[in-house]
Amino acid sequence: MTRHLPALALLAALAALPFALGHNPYLLNALITTGIVTIAAMSLNLLLGFTGQLSLGHIAFFGIGAYVSALTSLGFDVELLWGLRIVHEPWPPVVGFGLAVLATAGCGYLVGRLSFRVRGAYFVIVTISFAEVVRLVALNWVELTQGPLALTGIPPFSLGLPGLGSVTLRTKMQNYYLVLVVGTLCYALIALLVRSRFGRAMRGLKENESLALSVGINATRTLTLAAVISAAMAGAAGSLYAHYLRIIDPDVFLFSTTVTMVIMVVGGGKGTLLGPVVGGLIFGLLPVALRPVMVPEAQWMVFGVVLIVIQFVMPRGIVPGLARLATRRHAPGGAPARMPAEARP
Amino acid sequence: MTEFLQHLLNTLVLGGTYALLGIGLTLIFGIMNVVNFTHGALYTVGAYVMYLAVTALGLGFFAALPTAILGGLLLGAILDLVLLRPLRGADMDTTMLVMIGAGIVLQSGTLWLFGGVAKSIPTPFPDAPLQLGPVSVSWLRLFVLGAALALIGLNYWLINRTRLGLAMRATFQDHDTASLMGVNVRLIYTATFAIGSSLAAAAGALLGPVYVVFPQMGGMAELKAFAIVILGGLGNITGAAIGGFILALAEELGAGYISSGYRDAMGFLIIIAVLIFKPTGLFAKAERIG
Amino acid sequence: MSEIHAPILSVDHVGVRFGGLVAIADLHFDVHPGEIVSLIGPNGAGKTTAFNVMTGFLKPSQGQVRFRGTSLQGLQPHEIVRLGLSRTFQRTSVFPDDTVVDNVMIGLHRRGRGRLVDSLLGQDRTGEAALRDRARALLDWVGLSGRAQDKAGSLAYGEQRLVGVALALATEPAMLLLDEPVSGMNASETQVFVRLIRSIRERGITILLVEHDMPMVMEVSDRIVVLNYGRLIAEGPPAAIRADPAVIEAYLGQGSAAREAAQAARETIDA
């Protein structure tokens, strides 16, 4: 289990953090939203880092998860074409969470099947387009989504324990631990996936696709499954977001949030387990640190510059960079253990 | 019928600037293999240079347009020299991420400098539209169409009739061979990125006065440019020109007969449809599979 | 030796055209179970193209390939592997960022068919351990056990070819296609590789080989098929091929590199 030692240490630190902060609501709020976006970044890493597919429409899954969960718990009454009317009475938020995961998994399947017909630049553009179409639907289907007026009064999560009654998560503290638990589960799931046969298939496709095909790996199936799991996880994060903020509008679909996730993944270290978590914490909390000294526009400029600089100085991200430093220190004579992959012919 | 004719006329006006946007993007992709995520920001910059040139500098509308185009040309050249030239040979994802970063810097910088309030650019054209039988079109829009067509023509002349264009076409075919034949490929890349950027800036400078100018205007323009380029086939210039008009037609008809809220969705629906039925675009030769 | 066996692989009048360019005009030959057959020909003769057709990476413009009586028409590469036809690649034969043993684990994809749920719940421990043992056994076989924990991308070129062979063997093929397996190897490495090919055949795996190293081809092959300009120009045992005027003509008609190859072929005749 020494492999997971850094992750467990980080988990312990995060579990103790609210006490160390002394219940500072502003910081706690920043931590919760950071945690939620970090879960989405972890899900993005499954595609971007482990299969090598740059999905720039990932926010669509997050937003769909948020809307499905919110609408399930709020209820709605819409009239479709030909007078077909659908009335939905409110269901508990936990059911909304489940439906959000299912719905986004389904969307992941569709986008996966569609997108993996096309690769590279086409894949990037089709994912962006998908997110924009969904945003425009959220903006224009006012009867269902209230459009720009936002869905308000979304109920918070209630966790029912058989025989023990139920708890409604109203405080920031409760929501913090909910996000931490869901985040830990997602991390564990990804860790298990990556080490499984399926994870090896993903790595094989990323490193050498023709060779992977020639040992019997089914590319479409593997990549679609990765998209489904990734989308479902982003949908779960969206659901957490909706029931924590309790108000959502079509801005949950903004491209800039996808960019934030990409910065978290790429900055932290794509294709590593801890990368998106470390990147998520750094770039999620960076605005908190920058807020006293600069306006949001300038913060965004910093983000843009960071994204550029990372590609030039630390293209593999922070976590692999640190890991390399650590192994170099442990290696006898301080020499790097072995030539990196660039040495291959 | 009159309504339909009016839509067709609007399509022509809009399609010209869309074609400019698309040609710029597809030129950069075709020759440099770079998905340019600064295209929208350059469109915005073009519009703001136009605005500054007309208002603060008092250059006059017709002098301001070439100023904006020149601004795009310069900014494009700088972006290539500073960011893309050192990354030549890096994989596509790396350049895409760097371009996204640069796009964010440009867009947030514009927001920082000018604030979020939309600005309008004063024009010298009469307010009363030109009546053409049952349909009408404003003089400004006519000028925009004329200028866009002139720029498309200029671009074709540049690519097909000049030495620079010959070198660009050679690089497009095979940059290694072009380099062996004595083409300065690095210079061609810079020129290509600058020209592509100037076309985006031109589109912004032309549409800025038609609508209003605001820092986020480039986001949607960029996504539309992607739609146009996919429609025409990545790297296909004529395809992008036709794609611009097709997208404009789809938007006009979508807004006119479905719902104006979904005007902007047409481009993405086109992308998704094209990728399902003809992934190489409507006018592209089949992509060679290595 | 070759009795009336049904062929394991038949290439049935296959043609491949890219636009106007004819890569393979009309290729027709059989490989019988247990044989080692070499496919040779000057550069650009269509050898690798033929491999790509046989393994589903290219669709032929005409004709078809049958493997153990099944038509491969319309099958994807991963489906063809499942029928027992495996291949190696000329240039990139490894997953560069993984260790050598993990490379073979990826190659054992078809073996570890535990259900996803089981492997997620950690129920698949025994399966994983068995897989790792199998991977080590395969590395032993190709002589790479010493490099098991090294990054595959950091290996020497010749060693990477061996990883490629281990990966192909991991799919438990009935027939193995080797694309220029000894290019870049020195003479002693080539000799080791020849022994490996024979040991593979001894385990009942049929081998089809594309190779430029003429002495090696002459030494190892039961039968040779010669291609030129996408056409079959000769077919037979090494001795017959050496003496075939059409073959000598094909090699002499080419550039200096091909002439050297022809020279090498004739030197083997003299030897």
Please, what are the domains in chain C? 9-94+155-270 (3.40.50.300)
Could you read off the pLDDT of A80-107 as tens digits, one per residue? 777 788 878 888 888 899 999 999 999 9
Q: Give residue B236's identity as a one-letter amino acid code.
A: N
Enumerate neighbours of C (3 or more CB pairs within 8 A). Answer: A
Supply the pLDDT for residue A331. 52
Count the neighbouring beta carbons within 10 Å of the beta carbon of residue A258: 24
B269 interfaces chain A, CB cutoff of 8 Å: yes
C-alpha closest to that of B29 among B181, B199, B215: B199
CA–CA distances in Å: residue B85 to residues A70, A181, B75, B81, B187: 47, 45, 14, 5, 10
CB contact under 8 A, A125 and B271: yes
Could you read off the pLDDT of C115-169 as tens digits, one per residue? 555 655 555 566 778 888 899 999 999 888 888 899 988 888 888 889 999 999 9
Chain C residues with CB inside 8 Å of A323's CB?
none
Supply the pLDDT for residue A25. 85
Mutation test of the interface with chain A: which of B31, B37, B97, choosing the one with the most A Cβ atoms within 10 A? B97
Q: What percent of chain C has pLDDT over 70?
A: 85
Instruction: Calculate how close chain B gets to A208, using CA atoms only, in Å.
Output: 13
Instruction: Calculate how close chain B gets to A225, using CA atoms only, in Å.
Output: 20
According to DSSP, the β-strands at C62-67 and C70-71 are: antiparallel
Chain A residues with CB inside 8 Å of B234's CB?
121-122
Q: Which residue has the higher pLDDT, C182 or C254?
A: C182
Supply the pLDDT for residue A170. 78
Which of A118, A140, A256 minimises the CB distance to B261?
A140
CB contact under 8 A, A196 and C116: yes
pLDDT-derived band at B275, boundaries 50, 70, 90: confident
For the ranges A54-58, B89-93, B117-121, C168-172, the lowest mean pLDDT is seen at B89-93
CB contact under 8 A, B86 and A124: no
pLDDT-derived band at B246, boundaries 50, 70, 90: very high
User: CA C54, CA C50: separation in Å to the nearest integer?
Assistant: 6
pLDDT-derived band at A79, boundaries 50, 70, 90: confident
Tokens of B239: 């395809």
Residues of chain A with a CB closer than 8 angstroms to some CB in chain B? 52, 54, 114, 117-118, 120-122, 124-126, 128-130, 132-133, 136-137, 139-140, 255-256, 259, 262, 266, 295, 297-298, 300-301, 303-308, 311-312, 315
Which of A117, A124, A133 minimises the CB distance to B268?
A133
CB contact under 8 A, A133 and B269: yes
**Which residue do the tokens 């990549």 mark?**
A223
Supply the pLDDT for residue A337. 40
C92 interfaces chain A, CB cutoff of 8 Å: yes
Q: Which residue of A has its CA nearest to B82?
A: A308
C-alpha closest to that of B232 among B285, B178, B186: B285
- Is the pLDDT confidence value at B149 over 80? yes
Say whether C37 sits in a helix, a strand or coil: strand
B93 interfaces chain A, CB cutoff of 8 Å: yes
Q: What percent of chain B has pLDDT over 70?
A: 96
- Is the pLDDT confidence value at C86 over 90? yes
Enumerate neighbours of B (3 or more CB pairs within 8 A). Answer: A
Could you read off the pLDDT of A120-137 as tens digits, one per residue? 777 888 888 888 889 988
C-alpha closest to that of C242 among C254, C220, C260, C226: C226
Mean pLDDT of chain C: 84
pLDDT-derived band at C267, boundaries 50, 70, 90: low
Q: What percent of chain C has pLDDT over 90?
A: 38
CB contact under 8 A, A304 and B94: no
Could you read off the pLDDT of C104-117 as tens digits, one per residue? 999 888 776 655 55
Interface of C with A in 124-163 (CB under 8 A): 124, 150-151, 153-154, 157, 160
B109 interfaces chain A, CB cutoff of 8 Å: yes
CB contact under 8 A, A308 and B98: yes
Supply the pLDDT for residue B91. 79
Supply the pLDDT for residue A330. 60
Instruction: Calculate how close chain A gets to C33, using CA atoms only, in Å.
Output: 21
**Which residue do the tokens 């794609």 mark?**
B243
pLDDT-derived band at A288, boundaries 50, 70, 90: confident
CB contact under 8 A, A218 and C171: no
pLDDT-derived band at C46, boundaries 50, 70, 90: confident
CB contact under 8 A, A214 and C89: yes
Instruction: Calculate how close chain C gets to A327, using CA atoms only, in Å.
Output: 15
C-alpha closest to that of B186 among B74, B32, B70, B35: B32
pLDDT-derived band at C66, boundaries 50, 70, 90: very high
Could you read off the pLDDT of C186-237 as tens digits, one per residue? 888 899 999 999 999 999 999 999 988 888 999 999 999 998 877 888 899 9
* Reduced DSSP (H G I as helix, E B as strand, rest coil) percent helix, strand, coil of chain C, to 5: 45, 25, 35
Supply the pLDDT for residue C1. 46
For the ranges A310-324, C25-39, C147-161, the lowest mean pLDDT is seen at A310-324
Supply the pLDDT for residue B288. 34
Which of A124, A130, A312 minimises the CB distance to B96?
A124
Mean pLDDT of chain A: 85
**Which residue do the tokens 């220190």 mark?**
A329
Tokens of B218: 């480039």
User: Which value, to the nearest 10 degrees, does the dihedral of the CA atoms of residues C135, C140, C141, C142 take?
Assistant: 90
- Is the pLDDT confidence value at B18 over 60? yes
- Is the pLDDT confidence value at B189 over 90? yes
Most confident of A33-47, A304-318, C13-27, C131-145: A33-47
pLDDT-derived band at B44, boundaries 50, 70, 90: very high
Specify whether the CB–CB gap between C39 and C225 falls below 8 A.
yes
User: CA A198, CA A330: separation in Å to the nearest integer?
Assistant: 32
| DSSP letters spanning A245-257 | H-EE-GGGG-HHH
For the ranges A28-32, B278-282, C265-269, the lowest mean pLDDT is seen at C265-269
Q: What percent of chain A has pLDDT over 70?
A: 92
Supply the pLDDT for residue B2. 81
- Is the pLDDT confidence value at A343 over 60? no
pTM for the predicted model, two decimal places? 0.84
Q: What percent of chain A has pLDDT over 90?
A: 31
**Which residue do the tokens 């106007």 mark?**
C20
Looking at residues A73-80, what average pLDDT do you find? Answer: 82
